[in-house]
Structure 1
Amino acid sequence: MTIKMPPPRQIKPELERDFTRSPALGYEPSDEVGFVRCLEHGFPTPLARWHYHDEYELHLITCTSGKAFVGDWIGPFQPGHLVLTGPRLPHNWVSSDMPEGGVPQRDLVIQFPHEPLVQAAQTIPELRDILPLLERAKHGIEFFGLSQRAEQHWHRVKAAKGLRRWSAFCDYLADLAACTDYRLLSSVQLQSTDDDRSIDQIHAVVSRITDRLAEDHSARALAAELGMSESRFCRFFRKATGNTFTDFVNRVRISRACQLLMDTEHPIVHICYEVGFNNVANFNRRFREIKGMTPSEYRKLSLTRFHGAA
């Protein structure tokens, strides 16, 4: 008797390409799209899946609630949830309170590419105001207190064409760039600094940590390598990362653990040691402190990032 094996479990995000962006799914026709692309869709839809793309995506939820997945972050969403994701950052929103038959509108989305904005900022000084925003978007940004204004912005952009669309889009970006009530969602983020030597030093330290997670990283040893006292190094590190040295190492390790929990079927004990924790109890405690759940709960929740499962 032949035993039929189940298909392998999907663990990787799907790359969204231009040829899949059909107007039947809510996209604007390709011959009408310029720099800014608008998208409106309901739920369920084939578009709601664990995926990524080369563009930034500004995503506003207008109805239903559920779980959002942005990189290694898992958290709740409800109407008014506004997030900017950077290029190739995997994401998905999965509603859990839909009426029978779904909803006709759940997502108001704007997509735009990276390179033209960065190139334009080299010659148009006003555009440089948005560069810190784009840098933060690598980790996904959730904005607070902007949902009503964001919906108005989306409709203005959608209704406009040509230069007026660009103007409406810039107005939207200006509000986001000026917003101070936000949080970064996925992983850890370095803070900006004007000192090139300090940038080089901190990136060398961070690279050492991320490339050799399983090793024992000591603030005292790293301080000595940089010719600093331990206390000076700790102040320097906190200013550059926004975290104490120990917290940063733990967050990087937990972020890597999240990736392994989502993308592999490795046992949790194996993952614990692979990312540099020396006992499972400490790993579980740190994981819960940072992610608000246990590793096993995180793995179980992550399976719902596909479509119903999405």
Structure 2
Amino acid sequence: MSNTAKRITPEYEIADGSVETIRYLEHGYPSDLIRWHAHDDYELHFIVDTSGKVFVGDYIGNYSAGQLILTGPRLPHNWVCQNDQAPVKVRDMLIRFDHESFSNGMKIIPELAEILPMLSRAKSGIEFFDIDLEKLKKVFHSVRDSSGLERIIKALPLLQELAQTPNYRLLSTVQIDLKSNESLQRKINTVVDHVTQNYSQDISLSSAASLVNMSDSHFSRFFKKATGNRFIEFVNRVRISRACSLLTETDQQIASICFQVGFNNVANFNRRFHELKGVTPRDFRAQSNAHMETSASHA
């Protein structure tokens, strides 16, 4: 694809007007493509570099190189790098396709129906585990470097494998269908970025609403519809996600972590942590340590 043929669409995707069943895109960091957004396609994201926070619907978690996630149509998503992350040439490799291509194709090739259950699950976002990363990278490279029928032939075995694997989890607890226009998506992106950069500070709904020039009540309804979370729930999820990283990667005291991620008392921190993770911070750390010891013994 020549540079002169490329254009930037309203959703910041690179397109040249051609119609393809399987489309490929990659970008580095920083990039205009890194933003809270939703679109009509399925996207299989393979993160090959950087680490930070991943947002899929109402799910908020950590990401690092090697993560593989399938997002469904109109399900909002974003990967936000850590603030100290150095620029990289390729951060995200992704394969895109739409539902109509497969639903129409099934009328001629009924075997394509094998991936339908996976596509249904993708409405919530799917994270896949126990993937052979070297093999996965080769598949994405082969899809990138091919076109036409050859690209379909390269991509279909991967989709079949993922449709059959039991090693996955669903991410978003609500199936958000974000139909908001580009302007509203930019507003959400502004707030998401603000929270991820300032979660350790006091962040009020009013201050977030003022960032995007909305009244408190309007912003509250808008944010819940767009993200599946009430604003304070969203802030708490970001904070708890960061706390999980600190509990796993450091030996800092739990009380210290509590204040570091933006909570103002330990009791509230413990309560919110248990609500989201089902265990106390202390038990979460113990489970993480046990898991790492088990993994090391099998290495």
Identify the TM-score tier after normalising by the shorter chain: 0.5 to 0.7
TM-superposed CA distance for 1:174, in Å, is 1.1
- 1:80-159 mapped onto 2 (5 Å cutoff): 80-96=66-82, 98-100=84-86, 102-146=87-131, 147-159=133-145
Q: Note the residue ranges of structure 1 that are not aligned, 5 or more in a row.
A: 1-16, 190-254, 266-282, 294-310
Paired position in structure 1 for 2:20: 34
After superposition, give the CA deviation of every residue in 1:97-129 in whole Å (9 maximum; x if it has no partner): 6544x1111000111111121122233221011
Instruction: Verify the 8 A CA contact 2:58 2:228 in the aligned structure 1.
Output: yes
After superposition, give the CA deviation of every residue in 1:174-217 in whole Å (9 maximum; x if it has no partner): 1211211110000169xxxxxxxxxxxxxxxxxxxxxxxxxxxx
Q: SS of the residue aligned with 2:73?
A: coil
Give 1:155's aligned amino acid: H
Q: Matched residues in 1 for 2:8 and 2:99: separation?
A: 16
Quote the sequence identity (%).
43
TM-superposed CA distance for 1:262, in Å, is 3.9
The structure-2 alpha-carbon separation of the partners of 1:163 and 1:68, relative to structure 1 and needing over 3 Å to count, comes to same
TM-superposed CA distance for 1:155, in Å, is 0.8
TM-superposed CA distance for 1:37, in Å, is 1.4
1:180 and 2:166 are equivalent in the alignment = yes
Give 2:143's aligned amino acid: V
Instruction: Verify the 8 A CA contact 2:45 2:94 in the aligned structure 1.
Output: yes
Paired position in structure 2 for 1:261: 230
Q: Matched residues in 2 for 1:263 and 1:285: separation?
A: 16
Q: Matched residues in 1 for 2:26 and 2:54: separation?
A: 18
CA RMSD across the alignment: 3.2
Q: SS of the residue aligned with 1:150?
A: helix
The structure-2 alpha-carbon separation of the partners of 1:150 and 1:97, relative to structure 1 and needing over 3 Å to count, comes to farther
TM-superposed CA distance for 1:290, in Å, is 5.1
Instruction: Verify the 8 A CA contact 1:64 1:98 in the aligned structure 2.
Output: no
Paired position in structure 1 for 2:9: 19
Q: SS of the residue aligned with 2:228?
A: helix
Higher-Rg structure is 1
Q: Matched residues in 2 for 1:67 and 1:137: separation?
A: 19
The structure-2 alpha-carbon separation of the partners of 1:132 and 1:44, relative to structure 1 and needing over 3 Å to count, comes to same
Give 1:174's aligned amino acid: Q
TM-score (structure 1 length as normaliser)? 0.54
Q: SS of the residue aligned with 1:118?
A: helix
Q: SS of the residue aligned with 1:186?
A: coil
